[in-house]
Amino acid sequence: MTTGATTGDGLDREALDHLETARVRVEPALRAALGRLPGRVRPVALYHYGWSDAEGRECDTGRGKALRPALTLLSAAAAGGDGAGRDERVLAAAVAVDLVHNFSLVHDDVMDGDLTRRHRPTVWSVFGVGPAVLAGDALLTLALQTLAPAPAAAAAVADAVQELILGQIQDLALERRDSATLTECLAMAAAKTGALLGCSCALGALAAGAPDGRVRLLGRVGRDLGLAFQLTDDVLGIWGDPAVTGKPAGADLRARKKSLPVVAALASGTAAGRELARVYRSRQELGPDEVARAAALVREAGGRDWALERAGDLLGDIEKTLDTGDLDESGVPGLRSLARLCVDRRF
Amino acid sequence: MTTGATTGDGLDREALDHLETARVRVEPALRAALGRLPGRVRPVALYHYGWSDAEGRECDTGRGKALRPALTLLSAAAAGGDGAGRDERVLAAAVAVDLVHNFSLVHDDVMDGDLTRRHRPTVWSVFGVGPAVLAGDALLTLALQTLAPAPAAAAAVADAVQELILGQIQDLALERRDSATLTECLAMAAAKTGALLGCSCALGALAAGAPDGRVRLLGRVGRDLGLAFQLTDDVLGIWGDPAVTGKPAGADLRARKKSLPVVAALASGTAAGRELARVYRSRQELGPDEVARAAALVREAGGRDWALERAGDLLGDIEKTLDTGDLDESGVPGLRSLARLCVDRRF
């Protein structure tokens, strides 16, 4: 599945450089935006961003991947605009999508009761459920405030937020049910992850003043990338290295999450799939041995291969769209390498 | 404290008519807005609004007071615009403030673990914490989507939301501490309730195309009204009739809430205030007798009178501002009667 120039450990250095560059370019504007949050909310948000500890002391830990801002900057460049973070409108768009992503993480951790995020205790587990809900609300509001001078961009982000919320509520509903079809799960992943990644790309193009066609095309690239990202994320949720992902090993299986490889395995009609269904139906807690056994069943039933192949297909679609899309060359290689990273990553 | 023509039961019929008129005028636009929510989120929001039951069947129960939309319509009229709900911009503003209010109620009930709202089980207690958090997120986003074509109004609502969030987080922090000053509690109430009521009025004026001076003046009226509303709310939280308020009797005292009359009593330097402080410091659960005793102590220490007087003073300020404010007569009597209702109400 690996394409293009990657390093020995499967990571594309060029893509990591793009992420780091975007992080550095967007950080001052992002910090300035967080600085506008009201007094008592700010320390909670800064803690989540890894820029202060639980006591409010400055630090710099547990930073995110900055994937969404990077997509916005590179899409702005690919649409013929400025991807270097000098254009205020592009920068505001990059800040807004990052804030939306982090709003959703803070609320997700409350809803899922997750204790760890980016190798650190989650916001709700440090500050309590109330402050976590409110800090999430404040980050969402701040995202839309950031785009107040650009009504079309604000409307696009708000649409993406509604779709993201839809994806989350579908996810919760699927977790409660005994069965879920692969079609339902793919639709859920498209809404949960695809919408905001699509918006991250579309917004870059929009802020660069690109015509509708380019905005739509880059939006489609982002959506495809979002689904590929989620497929890879679900694979890492089962087989990822906890030291690299920052999440406990096999956590998704222990929580009996209906992630995409699992649902593919359950729908495979194989003996391993039926055995996995029995494990998922049983009420008892899964120990490390049972988790390892469930992971083996997902693999045996073809769930892992299906997810990796599907992610690879999406990567192919993305590369084709980028090749034929009449885009500015300054942003295309970066988008291509980020797409590869999303599929090949280990973190 | 009662001013003007009120009925025998202390309620101003004229004000109730204004609320009902606003409700009827805004409801179609509000229903249309909720209809734009994504599939699985919509039934949760409709349940909160009392427009469907837990199974998604249509109904019409537990409606809110529509105070905020009424303030928007009347302020639009007082600023020389249309208060009859025919002007799309005014209507969008009224819908937005109502959505913000209801977003905050849905999230509040999650944070406080409250089981009952408007005589019905709260959203989280019916659908779970996850769907409740997400439905609140969706209502907040929808509020800002509603105002996307009006950037100044969207910015004003977002500012009010941030202030409201600040008020909530201050409230949570005060509840955790052993002591709180009256100044802190008044600032918290101003942010928690004053900001959105101020915004409801300012937005009506803004949507009516009023000059800055009128927008600010009506915003101030709304802020004062918000604080008066909160003072009255806190009095009703102790002495209100559960059959009328829809909240259990003495619930605020049982939860040892540091509401305004309580904090005034604690700060009174009286024997009753010191006795109340002992009750608040004790760890054991308060039965009906202890709750009644605590209520008597708040009254004895002067907390009730202080709150009612302060609300009366604010009402005086509001009436003076409305009298001298160079406003259009078509909206002023309505605003005046709503202000009286907020202070004299039993519900």
**Nearest-angstrom CA–CA distance, A6 and A15:** 9
Mean pLDDT for B203-225 is 96
* Interface membership of B113 toward A (CB under 8 Å): no
Count CB atoms within 10 A of the CB of residue A326. Answer: 7
Q: What tens digit of pLDDT does each residue of A300-313 get?
A: 999 999 999 999 99
| pLDDT at B222 (0 to 100) | 98
A93 in any annotated domain = yes
Identify which of B133, B158, B163 has the shortest CB distance to residue A133.
Answer: B133
**Is the pLDDT reported for residue B22 higher than 90?**
yes
Is pLDDT above 60 for B7?
Answer: no
Q: Is B165 on the interface with A (CB under 8 A)?
A: yes
Note the pLDDT of residue A11: 55
**Closest chain A residue to the Cα of B150, Cα to Cα:** A151
- ipTM at complex level: 0.92
B1: confidence class by pLDDT, cuts 50, 70, 90: very low
Is A26 among the domain residues? Answer: yes
Domain of residue A288 covers: 13-344
pLDDT tens digits for range A52-85? 999 999 998 867 889 999 999 999 999 999 999 8
CB proximity A222 to B under 8 Å: no
Average of per-residue pLDDT across B225-238? 95
Domain membership of residue B1 (yes or no) is no
Answer yes or no: is pLDDT of A290 > 60.
Answer: yes
Q: Which residues of B touch A112 (CB under 8 A)?
A: 130
Helix (H, G, I), strand (E, B) or coil at B289: helix
Q: What is the CATH number of the domain that holds B272?
A: 1.10.600.10
* Segment A19-53, tens digit of pLDDT: 999 999 999 999 999 999 998 999 999 999 999 99
Mean pLDDT of A107-114: 94
Shortest Cα distance, chain B CAs vs residue A285, angstroms: 22
Is residue B2 included in any domain, yes or no? no
Overall number of domains in chain A? 1
Q: How far apart are CA B50 and CA A56, in angstroms?
A: 41
DSSP B52: B
**Total number of residues shown for chain B:** 347
Q: What is the pLDDT of residues B246-302, one digit of tens each?
A: 777 788 899 899 999 999 999 999 999 999 999 999 888 899 999 999 999 999 999
- Assigned domain for B347 exists: no
Q: Does a structural domain hold residue B340?
A: no
Residues of chain B above pLDDT 90, percent: 79
- pLDDT confidence tier of residue A87, bands split at 50, 70 and 90: very high
Average pLDDT, chain A: 92
Considering only alpha carbons, which residue of chain B is nearest residue A106?
B133
* A147 contact residues in B (CB cutoff 8 A): none
> What's the confidence (pLDDT) of residue B11?
55
Residue identified by tokens 């004895």 is B300
Q: Does A16 touch chain B (CB under 8 A)?
A: no
pLDDT score, position A177? 83
Chain A nearest-CA residue for B129 = A111
The reply to whether residue B169 touches residue A134, judged by beta carbons under 8 angstroms, is: yes
Residue B120, classed as helix, strand or coil, is strand
Q: Mean pLDDT throughout A113-141?
A: 95
Rounded mean pLDDT, A245-266: 88
Model pLDDT for residues B144-194, shown as the tens digit of each residue: 999 988 999 999 999 999 999 999 999 999 888 878 899 999 999 999 999
Q: Looking at residues B31-57, what average pLDDT do you find? A: 95
B172 contacts chain A (CB < 8 A): yes
Give me chain B's average pLDDT, please.
Answer: 92
Among A162, A175, A196, which would you mutate to test the B interface (most chain B Cβ atoms within 10 Å of its Cβ)?
A: A162
Name the region of B42 (left: φ>0; alpha: ψ -120 to 50; beta: rest).
Answer: alpha
Q: How many Å apart are CA B138 and CA B286, to the nearest integer?
A: 37
pLDDT band of residue B10 (cuts 50, 70, 90) is: very low
Q: What is the pLDDT of residues A204-229, one digit of tens each?
A: 999 999 999 999 999 999 999 999 99
Closest Cα in chain B, distance from residue A262 (Å): 22
Report the residue from A44, A145, A173 with minimal CB separation from B40. Answer: A173
- Using alpha carbons, list the distances in angstroms from residue A114 to A58, A107, A109, A127, A288: 24, 10, 5, 14, 19
Residue type, B140: L
Q: What pLDDT is stored for residue A225 in this prediction? A: 97
In a domain, A8, yes or no: no
Inform me whether the pLDDT recorded for A194 exceeds 90: yes
Of the candidates A130, A162, A173, the beta carbon closest to that of B141 is on A162
pLDDT at residue B71, as a whole number: 98
* Residue A91 to residue B97: CA distance in whole angstroms: 29
For the stretch B74-103, pLDDT in tens is: 999 999 999 998 999 999 999 999 999 999
The more confidently predicted of residues B111 and A245 is B111
**Running DSSP on this structure, what letter comes out for residue B285?**
P
Higher pLDDT, A119 or A132: A132
Q: pLDDT value at position B193?
A: 96
pLDDT in tens, A153-176: 999 999 999 999 999 999 999 888
Q: What is the mean pLDDT of residues B239-250?
A: 80
Q: Do A40 and B169 touch (CB under 8 A)?
A: yes
Q: Identify whether A117 is part of a domain.
A: yes
